[in-house]
């Protein structure tokens, strides 16, 4: 009933694990290019967030005008611009999350479904490394999306379970 000390984990401290991936990237940038260059990663992920947001708006059926206004709203928002200037995990997590949802929806319309599900699962894994609460957000999204497709008659339960398996392989492989 006793767990040996070498297998003990501190389950209460998930903050360190959630910052590990972004901290490594920031540390490399600072060591190679200097301390101000680490902010470029936040800008990169902030810029990557915009096209994925527009693409998801297209999937949601937003009009052309709405898809044009979305980047303007993001780029004039002080909250978004502050996140782009700070070296925090919020834009890392947002960019990975939007990319994961985009590739999950893209897999529905593609013939090469497995690779897109593994890619989406991997991006979900990265997003969950950065913010552990993303596990619950992605879980709810995938369940609602799968139920919606099942009720629409697009997929059988076996296909939904197969998709969940490929997503889990991608997320588990990259989150470990």
pLDDT value at position 63?
Answer: 92
Average pLDDT estimate for 74-83:
87
For residue 162, give both structure tokens.
């197969």
pLDDT, one tens digit per residue, over 5-35 is: 554 445 554 444 445 666 777 777 778 887 7
Could you give the count of Cα atoms lying within 13 Å of 66 in the half-sphere of its Cβ? 10
CA distance 104 to 94: 15
Q: Supply φ then ψ for residue 66, to 5 degrees.
A: -65, -40
Q: Please say whether the dihedral angle defined by the alpha carbons of residues 70, 75, 81 and 87, taken in this order, is positive or negative.
A: positive
CA distance 149 to 156: 9
| Cβ proximity of 123 and 103 under 8 Å | yes
CA distance 109 to 129: 28
For residue 160, give both structure tokens.
């939904």
Could you give the count of Cα atoms lying within 13 Å of 75 in the half-sphere of its Cβ? 11
| Cβ proximity of 147 and 163 under 8 Å | no
Q: Is 35 exposed, middle or buried (0-12, 13-18, 19+ CB in 10 A)?
A: exposed
Place of tokens 């767990």: 3
Of 57-61, 128-132, 145-149, give the range with the top mean pLDDT: 57-61
pLDDT value at position 14?
Answer: 47
pLDDT value at position 65?
Answer: 94
- pTM equals 0.76
More confident residue, 17 or 46: 46
Output the CA–CA distances (angstroms, integers) from residue 60 to 28, 101, 113, 129, 150, in the order listed.
Answer: 38, 12, 20, 27, 18
């Amino acid at each position: 009933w006793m767990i040996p000390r070498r297998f003990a984990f501190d389950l209460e401290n998930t903050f360190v694990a959630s910052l590990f991936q972004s901290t490594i990237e920031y540390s490399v940038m600072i060591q190679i290019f200097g301390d101000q260059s680490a902010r470029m990663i936040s800008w990169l992920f902030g810029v990557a967030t915009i096209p994925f947001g527009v693409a998801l708006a297209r999937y949601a059926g937003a009009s052309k005008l709405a898809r044009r206004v979305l980047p303007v709203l993001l780029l004039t928002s002080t909250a978004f611009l502050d996140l782009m200037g700070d070296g925090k995990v919020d834009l890392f997590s947002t960019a990975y999350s939007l990319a994961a949802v985009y590739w999950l929806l893209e897999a529905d319309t593609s013939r090469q479904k497995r690779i897109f599900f593994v890619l989406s699962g991997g991006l979900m894994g990265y997003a969950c490394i950065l913010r552990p609460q993303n596990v619950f957000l992605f879980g709810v999204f995938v369940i609602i999306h799968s139920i919606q497709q099942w009720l629409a008659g697009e997929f059988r339960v076996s296909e939904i379970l197969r998709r969940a398996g490929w997503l889990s392989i991608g997320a588990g492989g990259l989150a470990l």
